[in-house]
Every structure is written in C-alpha cells, then in structure tokens.
Amino acid sequence: MIVSTLLRQPRHLTPALLGPTTILSRSMADISVEHGRGAWKTYGDITSYQPGKFQIKTYNKISPIGLAKFPSDQYEVKEGDAAQNAHAILLRSHKLQEEEVNLTVRAIARCGAGTNNVPVARMSELGIPVFNTPGANANAVKELVICGMLLGSRKIIDGINHMYSLGEQGLAKERVEKDKAMFGGRELKGKTLAVVGLGHIGAATARDAEQLGMHVVGYDPMLSIENALKLPRSIQLTGGMLEAVKNADYISLNIPYIKGEGGTHGVIGEEVCANLKKGAVVLNFARGELVDSEAMKKHLDQNDGRYVSDFPDDLLWNHPSTILLPHLGASTEEAEDAAASMAAETIRDFLETGTIRNSVNFPATSLPNRPENSIRFTVVTKNVPGMLAHISEKFAASNLNILQQINQSRGNVAYNVVDVDTKGHEVVDFKEVQEKITMLEGVLSSRVIYGVPGTGYAKNVEGDYFV
C-alpha cells in the first residue's frame, strides 16, 4: 500500500490535544499511534485533512443550529465533495451513493426519520453505523397531515385559484358569493381516520384527530409500548390493513419505505384501493413508493376519492383528484433545528465516546465513562461466534487488563467497547494490538478513542489493513 510520508508521521498525544475528560499517565502521553490515512482508491485528496479535528461532510440544507453543536475547535464541517476525508456524514434526503462514503467515514446520520435514501444494508456490511432522529420532525409532519385532511375535504386550492383568476379579471367582489357554491366541502368532525403506522407521526396524528372529533382506527403490527402509551384512548386497533381502511373516510400512511420482499413497496395497491370507501381521502406523507400509482389512478378515475401526497408522482401529478406537495413535511424551522441537533449530538456521542443510540443498523450500546488511566477500544465485527473471545485474547496476549467491556449485536453486526487499563504499561504498543485485533477474521473496523479528534481508526478491508 502506498502511504503518504507526511501522513505516516506518528502523532503524539500531548496534554493540549487531550479532551477535558481524558486523563492519561505521563508515559501514556508518549505512546505514538499511527493515525495516518492511506492512499486508497476512494480516499480523495489527503491534503485537505486537518489533524486534530473531526471532519463532518454534509448533504442538503442542514440547520445551522444543529451544525453549531459541533464545536469548531474539534470539528470542521464541509459540504459534499469539499469534505474529502470525512469522519462522519450528515444528510437529509440526499440519495447517498456508496462511492460518496470514503474509507475514513465512521458513521452516517440522517437528520430525519426515513433512511431509505441511505444504502443501509451495504453500510452494515462495511461496519458503518447509520443513525436517524426518531420523532424530531414528527410534529411538523403531523401538522401537515392535518392540513392535508383539510385540503382533501374542502376545495381550498380550487377556491384560491379561482380567487386569483377573478382578481385578474377584476370580478372578485361581484362573483364570489355566487361562485362559492362550486367549492363546497365536508367537515372532519365525526368522520373516521385510519392511521397506518402508529409511530411518532402516526400516534401524534391519531391523538390530534381525536381532538378534532374524529373516530380513529389504527393499524401497526409492530406497535411499540412507547407509542402505544401516546395513542388516544378511543382508538380502535385492527389486525390488518384492509380492516383498518375499509370504513375510513381518511387514511394516513405513516410507515417507513422498505424495499424488497416483506417490505412496503406499493402497499397501497389494487387490493387496498378496492377496499376504500367511496370518497375516501388517502394521505401519503410517508414515501411516494408506498403507493402503486397505476392502482391509485385507476381508483381515482372510477371513484370519488382523493389522493394527497408529499411526494412527486409522474403519473398522478396532474390528476384532478390529486394534491401533491414538494416533500414539505419536515420543512419547518423547528423540525429542521431539532433533527439536525439530534443528529449532531448522536454523531458526537459516537465519535467521542463510542456510544450508539438511534441507529437503524447497529445495536444500542452505552458504557459508563472511560475510567481514569484507560484507553477505549471499539471493535465492529461480523456477528459470528467466538469474536469476543478472540478480541479478549489479543489484549491478554499483550498483557493488557480489561477494565470494562460490552458486546452487543444486531442482525449481522456486533459491536464491542473495551476499556483497557494503561497503568503499569510504560511502553505499550497499542498500535500493534489494534492491528492484530483489526486483522482478525470477521473484524470490520476498530477505533482507539484517545480524545484526539479524528484519530485511531483502522479498517480491515478484505484482508488489507487501512489506518
């Protein structure tokens, strides 16, 4: 492997580089660890790397309030390609490509709920945790769902367009009272709303709909206890989607889009459409792909229903019974600030302490603070038997004492956090231990968290050692 001479310079820990909570013995402060960056194919321009800072790469418009959570003395935030050696990626709806995830990237955070724009399964194979921000934008979406119900019930948009056209002709005052008969509607009170997916958005929508005097039916086969406690008392839970929608005047979809077998692609298809009540309004503020456009068109052509969606649709965009919005659900100041802040805090926690929360592919993992005179290793492995024992053996072989340790797994990934005693080790070659552990079969990557931003990461890239 060709490695830049400059970046091969071992970096020495000095008190100035240590975080406020990092306490290392004097001898440990002299231990050098190779934190250079290899010249890998997808690596990019190594000259833009700033030692001693975590680099965050962003896509989309991310709230400055969220980005301010990254202290500028420890982090640099750059947009898209300007960030060549990112340690973490922060994004909203940008469709992330694998090529945009350099070997340096340790984590990805979606400022929002849906992670279908991130290749999550591939990231799991590469040992990269993907995070989201559960609930951070739910209120914003819920408010727009309520707005969608009103738009679908009253001819508000037609009325606004009509006023514009009358205004242009100078006829508004003369014609309004006569013409308004064209724009009659119906009320929400007393009607039935079916909420499909009772998560953060669905539960909040159900609650507010009850307050509006609606009868609420809900369907969620994986309803969490946390969300069940938020549901209105009067909600009627059903055991299936068809049962939920069949008597509903409004149907709100609030489920994730999941591709593939057993997923949610086109869940609103011919069968569901055939079971919709006459005049039913389908609200899709979840993802466009959940609705089979052909089936919906056929349904709208033959029935008196409406489709209100927050997503583009090449077939339905100009259908007279459709109202489409340009993905505005989470576009409020409050939601953008909350989602970006939560994502930034989650990434900081992971980069600085190894903690995992709000991940969609890694197990929730949290260890108490690193004890004094210890170094924290985190190791990402395939979820196969024996890994923990092999890792522990490597520490033992180097005469290193494990002070505390946690091993968690989820799907094909296992995550280990190990705090190792540094006392009594005048010269311990942590670099060597890290390399031995990282190159164990089944290990994907490792980090040594010293408190020096951006350092101590190593990857096992199909048998090659990347540091």
Ligand X SMILES: O=C(O)[C@H](O)COP(=O)(O)O
Ligand Y SMILES: NC(=O)c1ccc[n+]([C@@H]2O[C@H](COP(=O)([O-])OP(=O)(O)OC[C@H]3O[C@@H](n4cnc5c(N)ncnc54)[C@H](O)[C@@H]3O)[C@@H](O)[C@H]2O)c1
Binding site residues, ligand Y, CB under 6 A = 112-114, 134, 137-138, 141, 196-202, 219-223, 227, 254-257, 264, 285-287, 310, 327, 329-330
The smaller minimum CB distance to ligand Y, of residues 119 and 453, is found at 119
In this complex, which beta carbon is closest to ligand X, that of residue 331 or of residue 408?
A: 331
Pick what 92 binds: ligand X, ligand Y, none; C-beta below 5 to 8 Å, kind-dependent.
ligand X
Q: Which residues of 242-254 are buried (b: 16+ CB within 10 A; e: fewer)?
A: eebbbebbbbbbb
Instruction: Determine if residue 144 is left, alpha or beta; phi over 0 gives left, psi from -120 to 50 gives alpha, anything else beta.
Output: alpha
Query: Residue 219 forms beta bridges with which residues?
Result: 196
- Per partner kind, with CB cut-offs from 5 to 8 A, the member of ligand Y, ligand X, none near residue 196 is ligand Y
In the complex, the smallest distance separating the C-beta of residue 253 from ligand Y, rounded to whole angstroms, is 8
Nearer CB in complex with ligand Y: 22/358: 358
Q: Closer CB to ligand X, residue 220 or residue 249?
A: 220
Chain Cα centroid distance, residue 282: 26
Q: In the numeric block, which tokens belong to residue 141?
A: 């979406």
Which contiguous run of DSSP H or E holds residue 46?
none
The count of residues in the chain is 467
Count of Cβ atoms closer than 10 Å to residue 16 Cβ:
6
Q: In the complex with ligand Y, which residue's Cβ is closer, 67 or 196?
A: 196
Estimate to the nearest angstrom the gap between the alpha carbon of 266 and the chain centroid: 22
Please, which residue, 310 or 419, has the CB nearer to ligand Y? 310
Interaction residues for ligand X, span 329-368 (CB under 6 A): 329-331
In the complex, least distance from residue 379 CB atom to ligand X, rounded to whole angstroms? 31
Distance of CA 454 to the CA centre of its chain: 22
d(CA 362, CA 128): 8
Place of tokens 């014609």: 175
- Residues 90-149 close enough to bind ligand X by CB under 6 A: 92-93, 111-114, 137
Q: Which does 442 bind (CB under 5 to 8 A by kind): ligand X, ligand Y, none?
A: none
Q: Which does 298 bind (CB under 5 to 8 A by kind): ligand Y, ligand X, none?
A: none
Report what 199 binds from ligand X, ligand Y, none; CB cut-off 5-8 Å by kind: ligand Y
Residue owning tokens 């973490």: 88
**Window 427-456: contact mask with ligand X (x via CB under 6 A):** ------------------------------
C-alpha torsion sign, points 281, 283, 284, 286: negative
What single DSSP character describes residue 324?
E
Per-residue mark of binding to ligand X, 274-313 (x: CB under 6 A): ----------------------------------------
Q: Are 413 and 362 in contact (CB under 8 A)?
A: yes
Cβ(108)–Cβ(123) under 8 Å? Answer: yes
Local structure of 414: helix, strand or coil:
strand
- Would you say 156 or 223 has its CB closer to ligand Y? 223
* Contacts to ligand X by CB under 6 A: 92-93, 111-114, 137, 327, 329-331
